[in-house]
Structure 1
């Protein structure tokens, strides 16, 4: 186990000079501890096991060495040389976007395959050749079954947020994918916790890994405060609205997509710029919603655990557990959305009288030192703890988005002319967005991930709906 107290510069880690220059150009001059610890070992070809909370800088810790290795020679069609497995679409896009600037410097091509996006685009991208592939397990398994991708040339495999992938039921797919990569390759695994199925992956696929744990767990972050608000059932909705009306970006977590939509509608009706994010929404809607939240066009995001595991937005200073999470791990993952990279933040949990015993056990398992308060709507104490304030109570009307430039010679954008939208693979014979398995841990498989094929109806299960809401 390695602890790094003082971090060298990126130039001291063995990275190519043009990568160091690009980092400096982007304003990144000093590595985070996990980067300073993991990059040299990864560049040397060793297996690396990194343990650190969300927001600790893990993407560049594995991404830069991966790009250096993958850029040594061009990948053949359908045969990537580097693989990054992530649990959600949002995280896949964020990893891809974070690595693209440095991939361009090295001449490494980066692609992504995720559910909810066009099969045709992803298949064509793989045919052209991708050096580094960022993927969610479900969609990648589907493409391999179709013969669109082979993993025999993968030299470096990365598991990002491995504990979340296991918690979401992806252990069988992850194991199958790792069995397909080139024998003797390098494995980099990054996770907030190293228990359960993660430990199984480590023992099965890693050889004498160098272990680096350089960031405290969420519960011990000095810049994060934890508060337990005791509320009465009749007051809970109003208290949620007043908290959401505060200044600043706020994420409110709930246990089901139906709760997310209902609370989001209540906030909008009260005059709070808000939107919901969950697995029942198409990928394009989720992408636009995150962009609005990131740009400040909405100030409150009501999200489920499944959809929110890939949210990485700077400047979130409060997380609100409207519904208590199912486990202490979920509590820590939710809290990881705030107090990132040294910033301060608060985690607030609303608890009704019949939930107090469960809340104490949950927070005890999480190792959290929590401040408890009894609050009512409009209380000065509520405002002091959360920044809550009275909303306008006039329905918020979202301003129209700025017009995007049209493609071609002034004609309508493709797919926007009133015809049916096609987002699937023509061979599958379906049209529109599919619900992908990345929002449903471990569902049954039928053809292209569950869409209609051969007269069979699509599978509509959703993990976040199978759990009974608590609170």
Structure 2
């Protein structure tokens, strides 16, 4: 007889938090949570390794809140948080805070987020009013520390989430500068999908005899995820992509460049596939608005660069399409991790032309996955197998000359940038904003049958439904 799986209560999580978890449908720990929580709750430094979607967020959030709630509650000091969670992107910081906020409220703890791209005034005010747990991106936090709005000398627990992505983005110098200002006696929890050289430097410098738990790492096979490579003619790529994204279900499409993501979004919208874009050229308000539209189901296709490859936890992504094969295998794995999350199933499709065959073969080999390669043309029955359901297209007028641009081949002649493509809305989803000459360049979605872009923008500004 199989051993009984431990509950959160068995692991030491207090009832005030388990009740909130249960109310949100979180009833039993994932392997990374069951492995790391006992050591984290005992105050040990922990190195947790697990692929994206493995449940790392709850692992460290529950540890931080449980430990802070169990100690005497000092009066909150202005600008001196008790716990710090560092995340590489604004979207990931927001996601962590969304997960943590109701749990923190249940145990009487106050939380706040700090990241760039938005006005710093509200963040300064939150710090001045006193914060127990601060979720921050390194750059903005360093600015606030330098300006005297925040001090890190009262930090009891520090968490580094997606540490390898911070290394990839070049954040390690500022991360080290921030960690140097936290007490050496404080607890440190580091979570990462991989343990590359940059991350190893952090481990050796800042973690004291860490307990390492490797569960479902980046190269672990995901039984519920199937991989396909579609060998297509260059002139057929867009038509095949439309067939995939016009089916019911939520899809994330990745491209290599920001320009490619914008152009592809507009082409999809013009072809009748409602889509929004997500990349680094967007203002934070537009990024938040577009991600909310995708998360809420107003739009079912997200076209993105690698900004969305990690940490963006949107439920029920059925399909990931690499419109541009990524440049290296880690990017492939993290992009693909947008589907088959938390035990769900998912499909990953890479579009490949003849000139990309050797590159894609090497990519999949290094990623340790076995993909089924198929030569096909538009209309092939396999496309309905990969993305089942009735296709629904809502054609729109051409948005701009840019919308006629081809899908990027990933070899921009000037400044290659990481881009991803998003998937269109399916049957039953509400149409979203149109990509028209009058629509903001930062928000490109399909126009409703009535109401137009202004109606969608108003709904988005109002935050009609909260995105994750």
Task: Give me the TM-score of the superposition, normalised by structure 1.
Answer: 0.82
> Helix, strand or coil: the match of 1:220?
coil
Equivalent position of 1:165 in the other structure: 166
Q: Does 1:23 align with 2:21?
A: yes
1:388 deviates by 8.3
1:11 aligns with one of 3, 9, 30? 9
> For the Cα contact (< 8 Å) 1:277–1:308, is it kept in 2?
no
CA distance in 2, matches of 1:214, 1:7: 16
CA distance in 2, matches of 1:320, 1:47: 38
Deviations along 1:413-456, one digit per CA (max 9) or x if unpaired, are xxxxxxxxxxxxxxxxxxxxxxxxxxxxxxxxxxxxxxxxxxxx
> For the Cα contact (< 8 Å) 2:193–2:217, is it kept in 1?
no
> Helix, strand or coil: the match of 1:180?
coil
> For the Cα contact (< 8 Å) 1:89–1:310, is it kept in 2?
no
Deviations along 1:360-386, one digit per CA (max 9) or x if unpaired, are 111111001110000111122333334
> For the Cα contact (< 8 Å) 1:228–1:373, is it kept in 2?
yes
Equivalent position of 2:385 in the other structure: 384
Equivalent position of 2:230 in the other structure: 229
> Helix, strand or coil: the match of 1:150?
coil
Equivalent position of 1:465 in the other structure: none
Equivalent position of 2:447 in the other structure: 397
1:316 deviates by 0.1
Deviations along 1:97-126, one digit per CA (max 9) or x if unpaired, are 111111111111101101112111111111
1:340 deviates by 0.5
Pick closer, same or farther for the CA change 1:406–1:380 going to 2, 3 Å. Answer: closer
> For the Cα contact (< 8 Å) 2:309–2:337, is it kept in 1?
no
CA distance in 2, matches of 1:77, 1:95: 22
Pick closer, same or farther for the CA change 1:352–1:404 going to 2, 3 Å. Answer: closer
> For the Cα contact (< 8 Å) 1:270–1:391, is it kept in 2?
no
Equivalent position of 2:440 in the other structure: none
Equivalent position of 2:361 in the other structure: 360
Equivalent position of 2:408 in the other structure: none
Pick closer, same or farther for the CA change 1:145–1:286 going to 2, 3 Å. Answer: same
Pick closer, same or farther for the CA change 1:405–1:271 going to 2, 3 Å. Answer: closer
Equivalent position of 2:38 in the other structure: 40
Equivalent position of 1:126 in the other structure: 127
Map 1:93-104 → 2, pairs under 5 A = 93-104=94-105
1:310 deviates by 3.3
CA distance in 1, matches of 2:321, 2:458: 34
> For the Cα contact (< 8 Å) 1:328–1:365, is it kept in 2?
yes
1:70 deviates by 2.9
- What is the count of residue pairs matched by the alignment? 404
Q: Which runs of 5+ in 1 are unaligned?
A: 408-471
1:21 deviates by 2.5
1:96 deviates by 0.5
Equivalent position of 1:442 in the other structure: none
> For the Cα contact (< 8 Å) 2:252–2:317, is it kept in 1?
yes
Map 1:195-344 → 2, pairs under 5 A = 195-217=196-218, 220-344=221-345
CA distance in 2, matches of 1:405, 1:368: 39
> For the Cα contact (< 8 Å) 2:289–2:460, is it kept in 1?
no
> Helix, strand or coil: the match of 1:112?
strand
1:142 deviates by 0.9
CA distance in 2, matches of 1:402, 1:360: 42
> Helix, strand or coil: the match of 2:92?
helix
1:308 deviates by 4.2
> For the Cα contact (< 8 Å) 2:115–2:140, is it kept in 1?
yes
CA distance in 1, matches of 2:247, 2:460: 35
1:70 aligns with one of 62, 68, 71? 68
